[in-house]
């Protein structure tokens, strides 16, 4: 397992994406792009909302074997993104409420998503099976 601990700030997004991209190695571009979209969405949500108005760190852990497993751990406010309401995607952009599409997208890209609160830590784990790709 490889680990990156970084400040939860949007200006650190490139460093997080570079870290994950490096760990993905020679995986197909299609898989890499999907994973990087997921990482961008999750990290940006942590950076925007977890610690506001303060700041804190995020630990990103990744393993790449028969599947890709990425864990995001932060000490921000308790928030389970799996409890977020599913957006009404049949409505036009003007009619839809703001928010929710990112979590919806992550759920559709990844094969497994779990959340747990461990003490004062949010731990979100996403997995993508590589065997069927």
Question: Does residue 85 register a pLDDT over 80?
Answer: no
The C-alpha R_g of the chain, in whole angstroms, comes to 15
Q: Which of these, 39, 41, 51, 47, lies nearest to 78 by C-alpha position?
A: 51
Q: Determine the structural domain holding residue 19 and report its residue range.
A: 2-129
Residue 112: which pLDDT band, with cuts at 50, 70 and 90?
very high
Residue 91: which pLDDT band, with cuts at 50, 70 and 90?
very low
Question: Does residue 86 register a pLDDT over 70?
Answer: no
Q: What is the pLDDT of residues 34-67, one digit of tens each?
A: 999 999 999 999 999 999 888 899 999 999 998 9
The CATH number of the domain holding residue 77 is 3.30.565.10
Instruction: Select, from the ranges 14-23, 46-55, 75-84, the one with the highest average predicted confidence (pLDDT).
Output: 14-23
Question: Does residue 89 register a pLDDT over 80?
Answer: no
Q: Tell me the average pLDDT of the chain.
A: 88
pLDDT computed for residue 96 by the predictor: 45
Question: Does residue 9 register a pLDDT over 80?
Answer: yes
DSSP 9-37: -GGGHHHHHHHHHHHHTT--HHHHHHHHH
Indicate if the alpha-carbon torsion angle 3, 49, 38, 69 is positive or negative: positive
- Number of domains making up the chain: 1
Structure tokens at 42: 């999750």
């Amino acid at each position: 397992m490889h680990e990156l601990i970084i400040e939860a700030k949007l200006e650190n997004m490139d460093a997080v994406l570079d870290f994950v991209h490096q760990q993905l190695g020679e995986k197909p571009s299609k898989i890499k792009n999907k994973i990087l979209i997921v990482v961008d969405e999750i990290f940006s949500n942590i950076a925007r909302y977890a610690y506001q108005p303060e700041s804190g760190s995020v630990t990103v852990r990744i393993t790449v074997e028969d599947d890709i497993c990425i864990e995001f751990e932060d000490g921000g406010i308790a928030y389970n993104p799996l409890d977020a309401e599913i957006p009404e995607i049949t409505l036009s952009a003007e009619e839809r409420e703001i928010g929710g599409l990112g979590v919806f997208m992550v759920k559709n890209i990844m094969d497994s998503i779990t959340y747990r609160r461990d003490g004062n830590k949010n731990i979100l784990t996403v997995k993508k099976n590589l065997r069927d790709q």
